[in-house]
Structure 1
Amino acid sequence: MAACPLTTHVLNTGDGVPAARMALSLHRLDSKLMIWNMLTVGTTNDDGRCPGLVSREAFTPGMYKLRFETGSYWESLGQNSFYPYVEVVFTISDPGQKFHLPLLMSRFSYSTYRGS
């Protein structure tokens, strides 16, 4: 099986731990209809990672978004948060590359960057 071209790692920086068991979904924009089509759903593992998000064949040039269900994650820990979800929108022009999209979050902030 070919390596997944897109990976993510979610870290709960407020507690200094991986964000385990967070639901997320990957979507691609239909540029003609201007609507988002869901490609896959997943849940982070104990290390805050969600392997197998998308196959290399399904990962074509275009605009994508990863939606992280942050509000539900914090609720599962008995805490509230300011953001009910986080959506990170990004453009892929060369799907042959490897892309890593980490999410660093606390209950009242988040940050992301393009890794490799």
Structure 2
Amino acid sequence: MSTSTTASVSTHILDTSVGRPAEGVAVRLAARPGPGAHDGPGGDWQALGGSVTDADGRCKDLPALPEGTTHVRLDFAVEAYFERRENQQAERQQDAPAHRDSGRADVFFPEVTITFAVRPGEHYHVPLLLNPFGYSVYRGS
């Protein structure tokens, strides 16, 4: 077990509709302090910053969590990713004008927000399995 007084977080995204990593997805990280912190339990979320997924679908530079963090929130801006992917696909398929003319991807969840509890000294890897009409998350390793 780690002796660190803070938890750490990492994530990656797999687009299960194409079986590939989701590159270029903006991810924001926020933290909430636990009991005893100045805001008390259920205090306000503190925005910590963010990152963008790389070609492997990973965010390797998420900000560190402040000491005393008990809850973490990851916000994934997935709508722009699906719109980009659809536009790229339409450009490759010259015989699919209906997709090009639509102008917007058919995405049911434009954003995905995951909130989870953390304990000091532990690392939390939270993969997002994504497709235009659903998603799944789990605590990875």
TM norm structure 1: 0.85
1:49-85 per-position Cα deviation (integer Å, ceiling 9, x unaligned): 00121236x3543111000001111112233210010
Q: In structure 2, the residue corresponding to 1:73 is in which secondary structure?
A: helix
Task: Summarize the Cα distance change of 1:103–1:36 in structure 2 as closer, same or farther, 3 Å threshold.
Answer: same
Q: Which has the higher strand share?
A: 1
- Partner Cα separation in structure 2 for residue 105 and residue 10 of structure 1: 7
Match of 1:101 among 126, 129, 136: 126
C-alpha contact (below 8 Å) 1:20/1:46 kept by paired residues: yes
- Partner Cα separation in structure 1 for residue 113 and residue 47 of structure 2: 13
1:81-114 per-position Cα deviation (integer Å, ceiling 9, x unaligned): 1001000000112x21121000001000100001
Question: What is the Cα deviation at residue 30 of structure 1?
Answer: 5.1
- Partner Cα separation in structure 2 for residue 80 and residue 53 of structure 1: 29
- What are structure 1's unaligned runs of at least 5 residues? none
Larger radius of gyration: 2
2:39 counterpart of 1:39: no
C-alpha contact (below 8 Å) 1:60/1:92 kept by paired residues: no
2:107 counterpart of 1:81: yes
2:7 counterpart of 1:11: no
Q: 1:68 is aligned with what amino acid?
A: F
Q: 1:104 is aligned with what amino acid?
A: L
Q: How many residues align?
A: 111
Runs of 4+ residues deviating >4 angstroms: none
TM norm structure 2: 0.71
